[in-house]
Structure 1
Amino acid sequence: MLACLALCLGATVADDPLPDPDDRPADLGKPVQVYLMLGQSNMLGFGKVAGRNDGTLEHATKVKGLYPYLVDEDGEWTIRNDVRLVHVQGSGLGGGRILHDEFLTVKGARIGPEIAVGHHLGHAIEAPVLLLKSCIGNRSLGWDLLPPGSEGYEFNGNTHAGYRESPLSWKTGTRPQPIGWYAGMQYDGDIARARKVLDSLATHYPGSRGYEVAGFFWWQGDKDRYVEAHARRYEENLVRLIGELRREFEAPDAPFVLATLGQTERGADGNDGLILDAMLAVDGDRGRHPDFKDNVATVYAHPLSRGGASNSHYGGHAETYLNVGEAMGRAMVELRSRASREAEPERSRNGGKTSVERERWEVDGFERTALIHLPPLTPGEQAPLVFAWHGHGGTARGFFRNLGIQKHWPEAIVVYPQGLPTRTKLTDPEGRRSGWASDVGDGPNRDLRFFDVMLEDLVGRGIVDPELVYSTGHSNGGGFTYTLLMERGNRLGAV
């Protein structure tokens, strides 16, 4: 135990400090990278800002000299012009209110983990970043935040509610008497309020041109400690939560970072120990869910806490919220880095012959990109070519990882194009997310032109058998494949 704690603390101290943010805005030509921050009062944030007593942010930065990136040379709080923070809060299905809507800085009487998280993401990402916090305190994963698809279950003679059932529990064999709240009501409300912000993104991130949901942060668990059934069910509910959030926001490969409760130490028993074990179980490196490798990380918060407990908001100690935020931010940056190493240009271990390349073309004044799997080819050899078009809101990188045609047909050249912000009538009328223009009107179709340019280039290199060109896609990408069949069927062998 002592060795583990020393290792965790050592990692915190040894990491290179962040530089002061510069005044440059992000590249607004890139889609906004949206990170959702969810949970209960841990995520809400109760770190005290003002005061010279130990435990406040002012004492930590201006007396102890910690977190220097938060204070400029004039002693004022720094501002990140490449990261915006929006915090929307409401109870249940209520409309809610906006508590923060500004470029990232210390503002108000209290802070949460978002301050440190945002500085790490802003430093690592060239694109604009939006931290979208949608949460309220005193909510449990086993009841208020229960994700869709969760089924009811029996425990100690009582039936516990599944998603959208009410009340929380009732004696098995009796008829439940619904109350004015249902399982998952806070989940539904938090997601609806987050979507409302995204639907009016230009209001909250002026000058933005579309967005991608790039990741999720979760810090919660306090209320589940008081119901044994919820504590025992926490791992199952957490696994479902991760999957449902990714499905809801059409981000199947988006990394997910969570933090444990600060007061709970490894080896704890009772409900606290059950919840800690559940949180550690989903960690991609050391947990028991292989599908979460390289895309889920758990921050063990006990060594980072400066005392107190989650039910007392850690005594308002600002360093707890900054320490946990820094660890969560670093974890997210690391998961992003792993995904990039997998998808960006790199040579495989197969003698340096097979490669995955990110290639770029200029199409009608726009830079277009795609990931391309290139098999080993001898001089003069030609290979089949497959185009794989991601769904609306998806990414080339995500489709590369999740569809993985190259794993099943390694001899083929497989192209994963990246879409542009695209309007859809029902789900994205403002065109905030990436997709494909399937309609063919009087003018040129930008994505048909993209297909033409890619195909001409690859065939022109002499590496493609022009009789073996195929196309496939998911959802909106499947619709575009149908458009290709209608408009470019003479160039395709099959779809």
Structure 2
Amino acid sequence: MKLFATIVAVVSLLAAAEWATSAQDAPSSPDKVQVFILAGQSNMEGKASLETLRRQVKADRTKELFAPLHDGQGNYLVRDDVYITFFDRHGPLEVGYGSRGRFGPELGFGWKVGDVIDQPVLIIKVAWGGRSLFRDFRPPSAGMPEQTRLEQDLQAARKKNPEATLDDVRSSYGKSYRDMLEEIARVRENYEELFPKLRGKELELAGFVWFQGWNDMVNEEYSRDYARNMIHFIRDVRDELESPRLPFVIGQLGVGGPYTGDNARTDKREQFKARQLGAGGLPDFAGNVQVVKTDQYWDPEAAEAFKTWRDDIDAWRNFGDDRPYHYLGSPKIIYEIGQAFGESALRLRKMAAVRRQAS
């Protein structure tokens, strides 16, 4: 009952928000703010190092990539047409909206869509590290897992808290999903206070970007159910936000780069990537869901430098500043991934416009 009441409260809050008609269903007005939701776990949270970025804006092989971000005098630019919220942080888009001292895909994404879309853009970023789709982001229509799984979870929970109950375990399923919806509703209700320059303008939901997967990939049970859970997730999010064909971008796991082994069918990571790709392949998702393969943006030079990072940490920070599962903390990788997400969102937006004209 407690779980059901929470879901009902969130749905009611979102219904009260009354989003403007979604961009895929009606022509956009110049006064409407184009809203993109960026959600996921730690790699959406953002692990690209600002220390490494400071070096890469000057390095020969990357300075052209990052030229749009600064004035050439060592000062990063701040957009006056793209805004962002990331929990307690909000403002015009600039570097630093990731973990402390880092940025995430929002940077490349915001620069890409902001350069193309004439209306103001608002990015609502909702991300936490160490979350799974199987459990934390589990959507309501996926239902609960089998009783044996719940009993196993209960035994694990009681090792930390002997008073834990089965209801406690059940309520943990979908908690991040519900928290995500609450955060979206909070921003929708308070955007004029958060961003005074947007006062008097309507919000128009334009797209959703999902970048998550590591915690499901490393668990075979979670991985097996990923495609099914992802399909439920897309449909439930669209239903909650009252946007039946909301453009949806899925960032496919790409840590380690393109596969170079002999048998992808037996490789755990490649199996998982195939499940992510399969989640976007339903006929009714054609033209409104796209999967972006992030392995193509892996940086072999950074990966090579990581092998000896302990020998010369300062030299390593020219390439990255984190572990491989965080894409090495590489600004180059994460910025290019963000750009790719933006390109995909823009393609879906254009396809929606074509559908409107044809109907």
TM-score (norm 1): 0.55
What SS does the corresponding residue of 1:159 show, helix, strand or coil? helix
- The letter for the 2-side match of 1:44 is E
Give the alignment partner of residue 293 of structure 2, picking from 300, 310, 333: 300
Aligned counterparts of 1:291 and 1:257: Cα–Cα separation in 2? 15
Once the 2 structures are TM-superposed, how far is the Cα of residue 226 of structure 1 from its aligned partner? 2.7
1:220-254 superposed Cα distances (whole Å, 9 cap, x missing partner): 00111232111000000001111111111111121
Contact 2:251–2:291, Cα closer than 8 Å, also in 1? yes
For the pair 1:184 / 2:174, whether they are aligned, the reply is yes
Contact 1:28–1:128, Cα closer than 8 Å, also in 2? no
Please identify the structure whose Cα radius of gyration is greater. 1
What residue ranges of structure 1 are gaps of 5+ in the alignment?
1-26, 51-55, 89-97, 345-355, 357-399, 401-495
For the pair 1:199 / 2:189, whether they are aligned, the reply is yes
- The letter for the 2-side match of 1:224 is D
Structure 1 residue aligned with 2:71: 72
Once the 2 structures are TM-superposed, how far is the Cα of residue 129 of structure 1 from its aligned partner? 0.6
Give the alignment partner of residue 334 of structure 2, picking from 321, 324, 332: 321
Give the alignment partner of residue 282 of structure 1, picking from 256, 264, 279: 279
Aligned counterparts of 2:226 and 2:43: Cα–Cα separation in 1? 17
Q: How does 1:7-26 map to 2 (within 5 A)?
A: none
Aligned counterparts of 2:265 and 2:56: Cα–Cα separation in 1? 30
Structure 1 residue aligned with 2:55: 59
Once the 2 structures are TM-superposed, how far is the Cα of residue 110 of structure 1 from its aligned partner? 0.4
Structure 2 residue aligned with 1:12: none
1:23-47 superposed Cα distances (whole Å, 9 cap, x missing partner): xxxx995121111111100100010
Contact 2:206–2:349, Cα closer than 8 Å, also in 1? no
User: What do you get for the CA RMSD once the two structures are aligned?
Assistant: 2.5
Contact 2:228–2:279, Cα closer than 8 Å, also in 1? no
Structure 1 residue aligned with 2:316: none
Once the 2 structures are TM-superposed, how far is the Cα of residue 160 of structure 1 from its aligned partner? 3.4
Structure 2 residue aligned with 1:130: 122
Aligned counterparts of 2:168 and 2:254: Cα–Cα separation in 1? 33
- The letter for the 1-side match of 2:226 is Y
- The letter for the 1-side match of 2:49 is K
Contact 2:30–2:118, Cα closer than 8 Å, also in 1? no
Structure 2 residue aligned with 1:32: 33
What SS does the corresponding residue of 1:134 show, helix, strand or coil? strand
Q: Relative to 1, partners in 2 of residues 1:30 and 1:182: Cα closer, same or farther, differing over 3 Å?
A: same
- The letter for the 2-side match of 1:253 is R
Aligned counterparts of 2:245 and 2:331: Cα–Cα separation in 1? 32
Aligned counterparts of 1:295 and 1:237: Cα–Cα separation in 2? 18
Aligned counterparts of 2:237 and 2:39: Cα–Cα separation in 1? 10
What SS does the corresponding residue of 1:85 show, helix, strand or coil? strand
Q: Relative to 1, partners in 2 of residues 1:214 and 1:282: Cα closer, same or farther, differing over 3 Å?
A: same
Give the alignment partner of residue 333 of structure 1, picking from 317, 324, 346: 346
For the pair 1:272 / 2:272, whether they are aligned, the reply is no
1:177-220 superposed Cα distances (whole Å, 9 cap, x missing partner): 34465210111112112211111110223232121211101110
Once the 2 structures are TM-superposed, how far is the Cα of residue 280 of structure 1 from its aligned partner? 1.2
Q: Relative to 1, partners in 2 of residues 1:310 and 1:36: Cα closer, same or farther, differing over 3 Å?
A: farther
- The letter for the 2-side match of 1:273 is E
What SS does the corresponding residue of 1:242 show, helix, strand or coil? helix
What SS does the corresponding residue of 1:160 show, helix, strand or coil? helix
- Structure 1 or 2: larger helix share? 2
Once the 2 structures are TM-superposed, how far is the Cα of residue 270 of structure 1 from its aligned partner? 4.5
What SS does the corresponding residue of 2:242 show, helix, strand or coil? coil
What SS does the corresponding residue of 1:298 show, helix, strand or coil? strand
Structure 2 residue aligned with 1:44: 45
Higher relative contact order (CA 8 A, sep 6+): 2
For the pair 1:101 / 2:90, whether they are aligned, the reply is yes
- The letter for the 1-side match of 2:139 is P
Q: How does 1:384-399 map to 2 (within 5 A)?
A: none
Aligned counterparts of 2:153 and 2:189: Cα–Cα separation in 1? 32
What SS does the corresponding residue of 1:236 show, helix, strand or coil? helix
Structure 1 residue aligned with 2:20: none
Q: Relative to 1, partners in 2 of residues 1:182 and 1:117: Cα closer, same or farther, differing over 3 Å?
A: same
Q: Relative to 1, partners in 2 of residues 1:177 and 1:273: Cα closer, same or farther, differing over 3 Å?
A: same
- Structure 1 or 2: larger strand share? 1
For the pair 1:233 / 2:202, whether they are aligned, the reply is no
Once the 2 structures are TM-superposed, how far is the Cα of residue 268 of structure 1 from its aligned partner? 6.0
Q: Relative to 1, partners in 2 of residues 1:203 and 1:182: Cα closer, same or farther, differing over 3 Å?
A: same
Structure 2 residue aligned with 1:14: none
What residue ranges of structure 2 are gaps of 5+ in the alignment?
1-27, 157-164, 307-321
What SS does the corresponding residue of 1:258 show, helix, strand or coil? strand
Once the 2 structures are TM-superposed, how far is the Cα of residue 149 of structure 1 from its aligned partner? 1.3
Aligned counterparts of 1:311 and 1:191: Cα–Cα separation in 2? 30
For the pair 1:159 / 2:142, whether they are aligned, the reply is no
1:455-489 superposed Cα distances (whole Å, 9 cap, x missing partner): xxxxxxxxxxxxxxxxxxxxxxxxxxxxxxxxxxx
Contact 1:32–1:128, Cα closer than 8 Å, also in 2? yes
Aligned counterparts of 2:242 and 2:176: Cα–Cα separation in 1? 20
Q: Relative to 1, partners in 2 of residues 1:224 and 1:115: Cα closer, same or farther, differing over 3 Å?
A: same
1:276-300 superposed Cα distances (whole Å, 9 cap, x missing partner): 01111134xxx3x111111111111
Aligned counterparts of 1:263 and 1:280: Cα–Cα separation in 2? 15
Q: Relative to 1, partners in 2 of residues 1:168 and 1:250: Cα closer, same or farther, differing over 3 Å?
A: farther
TM-score (norm 2): 0.74
